[in-house]
Amino acid sequence: MIRLDTDVLVIGGGVSGLLAAWQASRSGAMVRIAAHGSGASMWLQGLNVPLGHADPRDSAGALYEDIMREGQGLSDPTLARQTAETVAEAFHDLLALGVGFAQKDGKFVQRHAAGSTYPRCCYVPGIMWGPEARRVLRRHLAHTPNVTRHSLTIVDLLPTPEGECGAVGFEIRTHEPALIRARAVVLAAGGVGQLFAHSTYPRDIWGAAPAMAYRAGATLIDMELIQFEPLVVYHPASLRGFVVPTTLFGDGAVLRDAAGVRFLPEFRPVGEAGMSKEQLVVAMATVARDGRAEADGSVWLDATPVRREVLEGYPWLYPVLKKHGIDLAVQQLAVKPAAHTCMGGIKVDARRATGVPGLFAAGEASAGVHGAGRLAGGSATEIVVSGTLAGRSAAALARQVSEPPDWTTLERQAREVFELDAASDTSPGRTDAEDTAAKQVVDRLRELMSGAAGVWRDHVGLSEALVSVGRLATTAEARLAGRPRLGDPWLRVTDMLLVARLILAAVLQRTESRGAHQRTDYPARDPRWNRHIEWRLRSRTGDPVHDAQTREKVLA
């Protein structure tokens, strides 16, 4: 078994986690990064920064007001203001590291993203900024002596009564069990992931972060608030799931229904530019519900009014579409909303502490900034700010902790749940049939979530889906009788089922429509719901319960 010691453990290999590692290392902390993929950072297209270069009226205050407006009463004012006021500092840190955001005549080029009052979305020419930032950060961290990266999948957190927090997982290539003890942990492993059939999420995000944090005792909030990305390619099938930026609306693009009619002015007379993602999605879904979309629910993105040289300014978009037979300069593109971001997650404070001693959260794993609606480019804003703050906070805590968790305590905790004595891929119970059965459960789960917790939601569909997902959970728990090995595919399935049930239960509770949450049976916003729905582990009574011995997850 692998045993690793560190001051700060960062779980997640995306931009937020890497920034947390960089910030912690600058404070002198020994840092270990545990990651099994690149996460959603590879799809980050733009970053909202209130520089005022495109419009001098922009400011941190204006960004704060936009965040609060889009959050529709559910954004945490402290976190929102902190995010708006801190992002410029994080942006200049990225610049200093070598991330080359587009500039012209000594100013940064800023596009007008959905929901923003002013153009403030910065980008890297020739590539999405997320992959470039990740490449630059990984290069710097590779030459930082107090930082080590490990190819590990973390399966669970191991908080201790003394206040430190460890983790248990396995090495990806060998499947050898791994036990890590740390003075502080930053959980930056993404959001709800692959819970929906039509989704923009990469395969390495399946809801592990909220599931692990929940079992560790953290509070989850706003799990019902799933943002659907509006401009997601549906045809051609080879590009299904590819995200088209809403900044194209600021360049002159429009949406048309199946009859070729431009329909967004019916919902917002001033048109597409600056229209929030939530407004876009509701308009598109309404057109589809009214029978004005194509039979599959898609509508048409018409970018032919945009000058070709402007389209060519999206080199990661325009050429890719052309390779698949779509020339945006002369052709329209079939798009349809897809699950994109969970605006809920782990409740954090201004330090990005979770309330679980020793545990911090960053990126999409954390919640509180966006509320019921998120600005386009806003996820990147939160990612860089929360990663920066969580890394600094974790390093500060690590300096105060005299000793890391005791190995005996951590190993006892891990052995209560998992088999640690052999590599997981040698498990005699692990078969192709088991993998196939797990996949079938996941496929059914995604079908249920898309049907009940998609853009339109109602009591009947949600109640039926909650019962069905409960039955799937019973099946999954039966597969995990005893102590499973760490690489057992059913562990991932139970994480997904836990998070799905929390989402469905929260959607069912919020009897109103607000932002990304649309109930057809409760179509109006209700001021009585100007509050969060919280989920926190309680011992066998009250809210959803998790039994550490059997990993049983039930709704009480």
Q: Is the pLDDT of residue 75 over 60?
A: yes
Task: Name the DSSP letter for residue 203.
Answer: T
202-211, 254-263, 359-368, 512-521: least confident range: 202-211
Mean pLDDT value of segment 222-245: 92
**pLDDT tens sequence across 164-201:** 789 999 999 999 999 999 999 999 998 887 899 888 88
Rounded Cα distance between 421 and 415, Å, is 9
Is residue 230 a contact partner of residue 280, using CB atoms and an 8 Å limit? yes
Is residue 550 a contact partner of residue 477, using CB atoms and an 8 Å limit? yes
> What pLDDT sits at residue 429?
43
First to last CA, the chain: 37
> What pLDDT sits at residue 204?
80
Is residue 112 a contact partner of residue 118, using CB atoms and an 8 Å limit? yes
> What pLDDT sits at residue 433?
59
Rounded Cα distance between 146 and 7, Å, is 10
Rounded Cα distance between 247 and 251, Å, is 7
Is residue 38 a contact partner of residue 410, using CB atoms and an 8 Å limit? no
> What pLDDT sits at residue 171?
95
Is residue 443 a contact partner of residue 478, using CB atoms and an 8 Å limit? no
Q: Angle, to 10 degrees, between the axis of helix 129-142 and the axis of helix 15-26? A: 30
> What pLDDT sits at residue 554?
32
Neighbours of 556 (CB within 10 A): 9
Mean pLDDT value of segment 361-369: 97
Q: Is the pLDDT of residue 71 over 70?
A: yes
**pLDDT tens sequence across 372-423:** 999 989 999 999 999 999 999 999 999 998 888 889 989 999 999 999 986 5
Q: Average per-residue pLDDT in the chain?
A: 91
- Look at domain 231-336 and name its CATH class: alpha beta
Contacts 24+ apart (CB under 8 A), 540-546: 544/214, 544/498, 544/501, 544/502, 544/505, 546/214, 546/215, 546/498
Q: Among 267, 230, 273, which residue's Cα sits nearest to residue 251?
A: 273
| For the chain, domain boundaries | 231-336
Which pair of structure tokens corresponds to residue 313?
């300014």
**pLDDT tens sequence across 470-507:** 999 999 999 988 889 998 999 999 999 999 999 999 99
> What pLDDT sits at residue 193?
75
Q: E strands within 310-451?
A: 333-335, 338-342, 345-347, 359-361, 366-367
Q: Is the pLDDT of residue 10 over 90?
A: yes
Q: Is the pLDDT of residue 111 over 70?
A: yes
pLDDT band of 540, cuts 50, 70, 90: very low
Q: Among 199, 121, 113, which residue's Cα sits nearest to residue 376?
A: 113
> What pLDDT sits at residue 137?
97
